[in-house]
Structure 1
Amino acid sequence: MMKLGTYLPLNERAYWKDSQELVCVMIIPEAPDTVTFCFKTADDSWFLYQPGQFISLELPVGPQPILRTYTLSSSPSRPISISVTVKAQADSIGTRWMIDNLKVGDRLRAYGPGGIFTFTKYSADKYLFIGAGSGITPMMSMTRYLFDNGEHTDIALINCARRPSELLFANEMRRMSQRVPDIKLHFVVEEDDPYAAWAGYRGRLNQLMLELMAPDYMEREIFCCGPEPFMRAVRDVLNVAGFDMDHYHEESFHAPIRTEEQVPEYDDVVPSEEATAHLTFALSGVEADCRETDSILTVAREAGLNIPSACQFGVCGTCKVKKTKGEVHMVHNGGITDDEIADGFVLACCSQPIGAVEVEV
């Protein structure tokens, strides 16, 4: 039994394996509805795992316990304890119970560790870690490990959140980046906090931001974790740039990957040079055949039509047109809102037709 004030060297301890009782020893509020829970083992053993892996906790919620899986935010380079950083969503059950009920001294049964989302499987000279919201937790585990390892691995770390107050681990990340110049740190928020100034990147992560933050991202091993729409947007940027997706790895909030066989096949739309498309400019009565890789703006110009445009990077929104039929692949950089997209508008400069498409031009 673990006793306070007992500090055994690692060589006198066993290591935690498979299933064991954990004791909550520390609770750290991180952000609204987000808490880090730190655990030690009840028998004073130490933790052996890979940075980026997860554990499953048995939570006494309701008449029957439930199992919930959480990525470890701690690093195996600090093996005496482990931590999970959890964020409660509107429909959370297990996480909500932890935040509202779990106290220092409480015990939970844990299973693991598991998962293959770890940089240790993919040796590289340069890494790019991208996390959104609580999806930053495996990136924090991997960054902490590389920082402790002291080999000056080149890391570009991008932490995204809705507001500055929701950027998890921001202060610790800044301290690591200040001490190790090879850790290049960037923050992206969608909106400001009330009464607080923000001088960093604002908006949703896009191709222009990525090129500014990690100009050599095409040469990096990339790890990404966050909500599925966020990860899909990252994949879109990489696909458009021609990134070799064999060097892209992601972890899902809802379906942690335990084995190589569980790695999903992405069903992202990737326009093909060989595939043909057909554009109808309804107001002008002009039709044109093209390739899926051609933008609506390019096809319009070749057909002698004028769609007002400026930046041609999906930023300014000048080339916004209404799509009335068909599907397009659009990777923009903030020049259009979600409401406008829902109403059928697209940006001609960065929208590529998939099959037959009609626009009001």
Structure 2
Amino acid sequence: MKTSGVFPDLNALATAPLWDPERDDTLICQQVRDETHDVKTFVFSAPEPRRFSYKPGQFLTFSLPCGPAGEEINRSYTISSAPTRPDRVAITVKRVAKGPVSNWLHDTMQPGMEVKVTGPAGEFTCADSHSGKFLFLSGGSGITPMMSMSRTLFDLGAGADVVFLHSARSPNDLIFGRELALMELAWPAFRSATICEDDTPAGRWPGLRGRLVAPMLSLIAPDFLEREVYVCGPEPYMAAVRTLLADSGFDMTCHHEESFDFATLMQGELEEAFAAPEPGEKTYKVSFTKSRRDIECGAETHILSAARAEGMRVPASCGKGLCGTCKCKLVSGTVDMKHEGGIRQREIDMGMILICCAKPTSDVVIER
């Protein structure tokens, strides 16, 4: 992209084609920003001018060479930037102890490096809501989709009424604190608050303390029963919010949540895997070349479920064909696959499948 001083060619950006998930799959890191002691934001652009079109709250799936011997690992991260600033896209990542992907990003990713991505995808967004009153509830790194939604509404100058309540472990773990404060100053219909569980060595947290409970929510958002609620965070946090809202008489049809917590998203798949096959159900042999494992899989069972039931550790995030984390090469055989956008048609044409949403229709061999 041609530049003039520090500015890119703004005319080129204004007329650039949209990012096409079926063809475009490479991003270049432009900036790495420290948000807290263990959280960083990674800003990316396309190699050639592209405008990113997505709904705030959606995610990208990254293929990163951080496995053993440089093996690629797929991992999904919610976009934290706003589609109202379409020339860049950003993710905000917390370093996880022994997490191969987050640690690789924190330790290795630098401006100028290229990464492979799939997406955007996902259904967790306020963009399709007809409500004018929102309550955003986030815990820990679950703040990222809420930040994308808030930034979008802020940039649009929309007439939305937003209450944003974030829960963090301590003041040292507050993500986007200063930006939220500035948004509150510039946007009269936007209110933000933070709850911290613990103090820091430097001093006591002067604000709300502990965990979110009904009296606290009523204090911050007295009209929360009238709002559309969006929730993201660790599963225990989201479970507590569900209980709180239900016990308060909230209309749960106005409740929306998102998480990539494996135990939650894969629960249905695991239950399916351990269910006894129906009498007379046809089974097929599934062979994994790299793992050197052969398993039996029922014709009505997803391959990932059968593999998990046999004790195989197969990377997966969403369990429903959205994120692309479990993408594998189908070496031979046939499957019935019903995905939700986590794989491109050209990848399918090349023999790739998502085993979380693929059922065998013959004996199959999979490169995994």
TM-score for both structures, normalised by structure 2: 0.68
Tell me which of 208, 211, 216 is aligned to 1:204: 211
Q: Distance in 2 between matches of 1:179 and 1:256?
A: 40
Question: Is 1:227 matched with 2:234?
Answer: yes
Counterpart residue number, 1:15? 18
Partner of 1:166: 173
SS in 2 for 1:119: coil
- Counterpart residue number, 1:295: none
Which amino acid in 2 is paired with 1:238? L
Aligned residue among 190, 194, 200 for 2:197: 190
CA distance in 2, matches of 1:263, 1:142: 28
Inter-CA distance 131–263: structure 2 relative to 1 (3 Å threshold): farther
Q: Determine the C-alpha separation between the residues in 2 that align with 1:177 and 1:263.
A: 39
Structure 1 residue 91 displacement after superposition: 3.4
- Which amino acid is 2:31 matched to? M
Find 1:57's aligned residue among 59, 62, 70: 62
What is the one-letter code of the residue matched to 1:194? P
What is the deviation of 1:196?
3.0
RMSD: 2.1
Cα distance, 1:256 vs structure 2: 12
Bigger mean CA deviation after superposition, 13-22 or 232-241: 13-22
* Residue 78 of structure 1 pairs with residue 85 of structure 2: yes
Shift of 1:257: 11
Question: Could you tell me whether the CA contact under 8 Å between 1:135 and 1:253 is conserved in 2?
Answer: no
Q: Following the alignment from structure 1 to structure 2, what is the Cα–Cα distance between the partners of residues 199 and 179?
A: 23
| Identity in percent | 41
Q: Is the 8 A contact 1:164 1:193 kept in 2?
A: yes
Aligned residues: 260
**C-alpha separation between the residues in 2 aligned to 1:78 and 1:251?**
23
- Structure 2 counterpart of 1:104, from 111, 120, 135: 111
| Residue 26 (1) aligns with residue 28 (2) | no
Q: Is the partner of 1:148 in helix, strand or coil? A: helix
Contiguous gaps of at least 5 residues in structure 1: 265-361
Q: Does 1:36 align with 2:49?
A: no
* Correspondence 1:117-156 to 2 at 5 A: 117-156=124-163
Tell me which residue corresponds to 1:308. Answer: none
Task: State the alpha-carbon separation in 1 of the partners of residues 260 and 2 from structure 2.
Answer: 35
User: Counterpart of 1:118 in 2: which secondary structure?
Assistant: coil
The farther-off stretch of 117-126 and 222-231 is 117-126
Evaluate the alpha carbon distance shift between residue 171 and residue 106 of structure 1 in structure 2; reply closer, same or farther with a 3 A threshold: same
Give a deviation string over 1:198-247, Cα, whole Å, max 9, x none. 22101011111101010110000000000000000001101111111110
Give the C-alpha shift of residue 138 in structure 1. 0.3
8 Å CA contact 1:211, 1:217 repeated in 2 = yes
Structure 1, 224-233 or 196-205: larger mean CA deviation: 196-205
Could you tell me how far apart the structure 2 residues matched to 1:44 and 1:256 are? 39
Offset of 1:253 from its aligned partner? 2.8
Equivalents in 2 of 1:7, 1:20: separation in Å?
Answer: 22
Is the partner of 1:75 in helix, strand or coil? Answer: coil
Aligned to 1:252: 259
Asked if the contact 1:152–1:180 (Cα under 8 Å) also holds between the matched residues in 2, the reply is no
1:256, 1:75 → 2: CA distance?
Answer: 29
Q: 1:117–1:257: 8 Å Cα contact kept in structure 2?
A: no
The 1:225/1:178 distance shift into structure 2, 3 A limit, reads same
Q: What letter corresponds to residue 208 of structure 2 in structure 1?
A: Y
Aligned counterpart for 1:89 among listed residues 85, 89, 96: 96
Deviation of the 1:184 alpha carbon = 1.1
Partner Cα separation in structure 2 for residue 73 and residue 11 of structure 1: 22
CA distance in 1, matches of 2:44, 2:262: 23
Counterpart in 1 of 2:183? 176
Q: What is the CA-CA distance between 1:8 and the residue it aligns to?
A: 3.8
Going from structure 1 to structure 2, the CA distance change for 1:113 and 1:263 (only over 3 Å counts) comes to farther
Q: Distance in 1 between matches of 2:263 and 2:142?
A: 12
> Which letter does structure 1 place at the counterpart of 2:9?
Y
Residue 197 of structure 1 deviates from its aligned partner by 3.9
CA separation in 1, counterparts of 2:66 and 2:252?
40
What secondary structure, in the 3-state scheme, does the structure 1 residue paired with 2:127 have? helix
In structure 2, C-alpha distance between the alignment counterparts of 1:33 and 1:108, rounded to whole Å: 21
Structure 2 stretches lacking a partner, 5+ long: 269-368
